[in-house]
């Protein structure tokens, strides 16, 4: 990750997008942006973007009952995607969609289990009750299929962008010379 500032600036934007989509149950943008960023920038970036976005959006909504395990689980999902990105380059749409679905299943399995423990619900019942929400959550796979390849290109371009590569007339001069 050459430009951590881009990642840091993305966290509140992604959190705000999640807050705007909050009325839609289990339909949110975190996975859509985490997978491309993690595959391109690596496990630390994937963890940071997912974890930071979840904590920030929960703070914006004032809901912290599940933040510890939802944010950590999303962070782990981001780290896993980052590790997979180091092992394989050139992900096609189908592979990205399958990865998205697998990560959604992992996320929902872990968070539903922690939810069951937190509220003393039998885990099998919590997992069965999670099924409709996982189906809704999986709708994000369509967004991954449609937009993830373009987002990966954009993340790569932003990470490699340098003002010094611009022609002299466009280059920003950050310090004054007398």
Domains defined for the chain, CATH in brackets = 4-157 (1.10.1760)
Q: Cβ neighbours of residue 14 under 8 Å, at least 6 residues apart?
A: 29, 30, 33, 49, 53, 57
Contact 107, 77 (CB under 8 A): yes
- Comparing C-alpha atoms, which of 85, 21, 92, 88 is closest to residue 47? 85
Tell me the percentage of the chain whose pLDDT exceeds 90.
68
Residues 86, 99: Cα–Cα separation, whole Å: 14
Where residue 75 falls among pLDDT bands split at 50, 70, 90?
Answer: very high
Tell me the percentage of the chain whose pLDDT exceeds 70.
88
Mean predicted lDDT score pLDDT of the chain: 88
Mean pLDDT of 68-95: 96
Q: What is the pLDDT of residue 68?
A: 96
Does the pLDDT at position 59 exceed 90? yes
Q: What is the pLDDT of residue 168?
A: 53
More confident residue, 173 or 89: 89
Where residue 165 falls among pLDDT bands split at 50, 70, 90?
Answer: low
pLDDT digits (tens, 9 = 90+) for 98-114: 999 999 999 999 999 99
More confident residue, 9 or 112: 112
- Comparing C-alpha atoms, which of 57, 151, 154 is closest to residue 100? 151
């Amino acid at each position: 990750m050459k430009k951590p500032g881009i990642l840091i600036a993305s966290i509140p934007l992604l959190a705000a997008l999640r807050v705007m989509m909050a009325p839609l149950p289990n339909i949110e943008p975190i996975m859509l942006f985490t997978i491309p960023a993690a595959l391109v920038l690596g496990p630390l970036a994937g963890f940071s973007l997912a974890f930071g976005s979840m904590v920030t959006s929960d703070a914006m909504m004032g809901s912290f009952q599940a933040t510890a395990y939802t944010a950590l689980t999303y962070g782990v999902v981001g780290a896993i995607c980052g590790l997979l990105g180091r092992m394989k380059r050139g992900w096609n749409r189908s592979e990205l969609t399958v990865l998205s679905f697998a990560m959604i299943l992992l996320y929902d399995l872990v968070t539903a289990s922690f939810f069951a423990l937190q509220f003393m619900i039998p885990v099998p019942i919590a997992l069965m009750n999670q099924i409709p929400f996982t189906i809704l959550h999986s709708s994000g796979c369509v967004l991954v299929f449609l937009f993830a390849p373009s987002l990966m290109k954009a993340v790569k371009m932003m990470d490699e962008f340098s003002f010094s590569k611009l022609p002299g007339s466009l280059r920003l001069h950050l310090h004054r010379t007398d």
